[in-house]
Amino acid sequence: MDRPRRLGRAIALIASITLLAGCFGYNRSAKRWSYVGDTVLLLGGGAAIAVDVTSKDTPCTGDSCPYRSPIHGTLVGGVVLAAAGLFGLLFNATRDNVKTSR
């Protein structure tokens, strides 16, 4: 496995762990931390997309070249993570704070 693929997988793993932590805040303090988590998702997804786009395989020149899809797992993972981060940011920005009795 080449280095860009490993780097992309590591970025996707870190961002996925952030996604599992839950990035939806219910009060002012929780929203602040959820914005941090959502930003990590966006940055991780963008980095995964950048790694996939910049690491191209050498083109095959010959008669018996197998088909290679331009869409790889790292690209799909990056799009999913970036979309989750964007959704979390929009959800937190439009969600009302829950008033707790303390």
8 vs 78 pLDDT, higher one: 78
User: Could you read off the pLDDT of 22-43 as tens digits, one per residue?
Assistant: 556 677 777 787 888 888 888 8
The whole-chain average pLDDT of the chain stands at: 78
At 20 the pLDDT is 64
- Verdict on whether the full-model pTM lies above 0.85: no
In the chain, % of residues over pLDDT 90: 0
SS (H, E, C) the chain: CCHHHHHHHHHHHHHHHHHHCCCCCCCHHHHHHHHHHHHHHHHHHHHHHHHHHHCCCCCCCCCCCCCCCCCCHHHHHHHHHHHHHHHHHHHHHHCCCCCCCC
At 57 the pLDDT is 75
